[in-house]
């Protein structure tokens, strides 16, 4: 599995931990920034990760900024992207099982490494349940195509 990772300067401190953890799970990581606290604009990072998923260079993505909110808003502007802001283990599980999220967004300033590790494991091991959730996602896809 290939994971596209994008962090802005407010979440860059999570980079090494996330990369090492995902590689330990035998995932390939595409690092789309940032690697230090030099300020960068989160929409630029979200665009890179969304593009990786849309062009199938990556299966999933992880985005992080100060709160995770900006990244999730920016990523969700791209057709076919379902970025979920995740704060807990249950959020991680339901984002995949019920919403078929393809990007997990995290809050760089409030997440602990212990919770982050659990959320990564759960998000990437959970599978979309389909069923009633498929009907709901189909409605969201209709929204994407009707906004021309």
Domain count, the chain: 1
Mean pLDDT over 112-117 rounds to 98
pLDDT at 2: 98
Range of the domain at 70: 2-146
Q: What are phi and psi of 81, to 5 degrees?
A: -95, 135
Length of the chain as a residue count: 148
Of 23-32, 121-130, 139-148, minimum mean pLDDT range = 139-148
Instruction: Check pLDDT > 80 for residue 148.
Output: no
Residue 66 in contact with residue 106, Cβ under 8 Å?
A: no
Beta strand 2-7 with 83-85: parallel, antiparallel or unpaired?
A: unpaired
Domain containing 33 — which CATH number?
Answer: 3.40.1400.10
pTM, to two decimals: 0.94
Q: How confident is the model at residue 106 (pLDDT cuts 50, 70, 90)?
A: very high
Q: Phi first, then psi: what are they for 40, rounded to 5°?
A: -135, 160
């Amino acid at each position: 599995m290939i994971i596209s990772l994008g962090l802005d300067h407010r979440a860059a401190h999570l980079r090494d931990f996330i990369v090492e953890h995902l590689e330990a799970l035998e995932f390939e990581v595409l690092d789309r920034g940032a690697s230090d606290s030099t300020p960068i604009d989160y929409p630029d990072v979200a665009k890179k990760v969304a593009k990786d998923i849309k062009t199938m260079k990556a299966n999933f993505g992880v985005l992080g900024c100060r709160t995770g909110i900006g990244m999730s808003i920016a990523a969700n502007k791209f057709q076919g992207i379902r970025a979920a802001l995740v704060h807990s283990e249950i959020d991680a599980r339901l984002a995949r099982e019920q919403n078929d999220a393809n990007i997990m967004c995290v809050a760089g300033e409030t997440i602990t490494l212990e919770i982050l590790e659990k959320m990564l494991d759960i998000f990437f091991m959970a599978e979309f349940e389909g069923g009633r959730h498929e009907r709901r996602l189909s409605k969201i896809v209709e929204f994407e195509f009707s906004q021309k």
